[in-house]
Amino acid sequence: MGLFILRRLGVMLLTALCLTFVVFFLTNLYPNLEKLAKTQGNQRMSDEQVVSWLENRGYMQPTLVKYGQWLGVVPGFRNTLDDGQFVGTCARPGSTPETTPRFCGVLQGDWGYSTVFKEEVGTIVAKRLGNTGYLMFWVLLLMVPTALLVGVLAGMREGSALDRSLSTFSIITTATPEYVSGVIFIAIFTSSTVGLKWFKGTATQAMDNPTFENFFLPVLTIALYGMGYIARMTRASMTEVMTAQYIRTARLKGVSFSNIVLKHALRNALIAPFTVIMLQFPWLLNGVVIVETLFNYKGFGWALVQAAGNNDIQLLLAISVVSVFVVLVTQLISDIGYVYLNPRIRIS
């Protein structure tokens, strides 16, 4: 088991390196750098000015060197401009050659400096992740129990009225992406045309002061889309368990139906959904980006949109590291958890 986890960690590290390099490569293509130069410097720069702006700030070095600097294995670029301003990968506004460290990269715990927000990337990501973490906590709290309940109730008696209506419900939720359900919810519950006005159409205030009124719709929108899929998987696993031999034995020896479901079936039926819930995290990340844009909630997804829209290279890299980390760790947890939950499977 230890060896297995070690190998998985190795693969994870390799994946993360490859992915960040891809992001690095794509954000460092010349047209993207040109856009960066024009947004940071001056919109009306000529082509020569763009090149010299980029060269002065070390953006024209070979990609591998720049990647090494970002990782912290190559000394950071440093240069003093003609007007005496000190610039470089490790430089911050107001820093001098003496106060700037030689290496500054992920290995040194320095995530870089955001060109859009004019702030340390580490602090931005931490703050935005905090907002998103709060959102995700409530999403999971709403989504997982509801989905499991729906799935178990539907799979308990295959083909019954309850099964058919709950299955229809879960098919409809899987067919409704967040930007559709969000728009429909905003239209019904917040607009002055329909006139219900139960909730707020934006979650901007929810960052400081989350209330049921301004926070429930974003949570519901993300939860619904993921819920259907988990519920369908739970239903499939529950129906499979309910046809198993030991359930028939339990029925024949006269155990009551509620006891069969609660004591015999449920525990076995919940193994498969555990994996599904874990693998659902990457999709939740998508939902987060859409919903945060739709409801104007300034979290991780919102930061992603801002970073990508303005080609903020270091912020974008940090965001991709975090999201790749989330994806890979949930995969690992799902694999390990599956082994622990299901004693029939043992990894050599």
Partner 1 sequence: MEPLSWTGSLAFLNPILMIALVALAVSVLVWILASIVLPEPQMTVNADGTVSSSGGLRSLVEAALWYSFLASIATVVAYLLLGVFMGTGAGIVGAVAQQFLPVWVSLIILFAMSVAFKRRLGLYGKLFDSPIGMIGFALVMFWVFTGIFGALDLIVTHDPLVQLSGMKNKVPGTPLPNPEDGQFAWYLLGGDNLARDVFSRMVKGAWIVVQIAPLATMFAFMVGITLGLPAGYYGGRLDTFLSFLANLILAFPVILLFYLLVTPEIVATGVPNYMAAVLFIFPILFIAVLLNSRYYTRPNFRTPLLIGVLGIAIWLYLSLISTGGHVINTDAYSIWGLPTYLDLFDIPGGILVVFVSVVFVNSPTVFRIVRGLAMDIKTRDYVAAAQTRGEGPWYIMLWEILPNARGPLIVDFCLRIGYTTILLGTLGFFGLGLPPESPDWGSTINEGRKLLSIYLHPALPPALALLSLVLGLNLLADGLREESLKD
Q: Does 184 bind partner 1 (CB under 8 A)?
A: yes
Q: Does 187 bind partner 1 (CB under 8 A)?
A: yes
Q: Does 18 bind partner 1 (CB under 8 A)?
A: yes
Cα 325 to Cα 320: distance, rounded to the nearest angstrom = 8
Q: Which helix (H) or strand (E) holds 345?
A: none
Q: Does 11 bind partner 1 (CB under 8 A)?
A: yes
- Mode of pairing for the β-strands spanning 86-88 and 78-80: antiparallel
Q: Does 256 bind partner 1 (CB under 8 A)?
A: no
Q: Is 204 helix (H, G, I), strand (E, B) or coil?
A: coil
Least distance from partner 1 to the Cβ atom of residue 187, Å? 5
Q: Does 140 bind partner 1 (CB under 8 A)?
A: no
Q: Does 171 bind partner 1 (CB under 8 A)?
A: yes
Cα 120 to Cα 34: distance, rounded to the nearest angstrom = 23
Dihedrals phi, psi of 120, to nearest 5 degrees:
-65, 135
**Contact present, 261 and 157 (Cβ < 8 Å):** no
Q: Does 230 bind partner 1 (CB under 8 A)?
A: no
Task: Give the footprint of partner 1 on residues 189-218 (CB under 8 A).
Answer: 190-194, 201
Cα 226 to Cα 204: distance, rounded to the nearest angstrom = 23
Q: Does 175 bind partner 1 (CB under 8 A)?
A: yes
Q: Does 294 bind partner 1 (CB under 8 A)?
A: yes
Residues 6+ apart with CB under 8 A from 97: 78, 80, 86
Pick between residue 91 and residue 324 the one whose CB is nearest to partner 1: 324
Distance in angstroms between the alpha carbons of the first and the last residue of the chain: 7
Least distance from partner 1 to the Cβ atom of residue 208, Å? 22
Q: Does 29 bind partner 1 (CB under 8 A)?
A: yes
Cα 131 to Cα 206: distance, rounded to the nearest angstrom = 9
Q: Which helix (H) or strand (E) holds 275?
A: helix 271-279
Q: Does 3 bind partner 1 (CB under 8 A)?
A: no
Least distance from partner 1 to the Cβ atom of residue 307, Å? 8
Query: Which residue in 4, 15, 51, 342 binds partner 1 (CB under 8 A)?
Result: 15
Cα 281 to Cα 144: distance, rounded to the nearest angstrom = 12
Q: Does 293 bind partner 1 (CB under 8 A)?
A: yes
CA-only gyration radius of the chain, Å: 26
How many residues bind partner 1 (CB under 8 A)? The answer is 57
Q: What residues line the site for partner 1 (CB under 8 A)?
A: 11, 14-15, 18-19, 23, 26-27, 29-32, 34-35, 157, 160-162, 165, 171-172, 174-177, 179-180, 183-184, 186-187, 190-194, 201, 282, 285-286, 289-290, 293-294, 301, 304-305, 308-309, 311, 316, 319-320, 323-324, 327-328
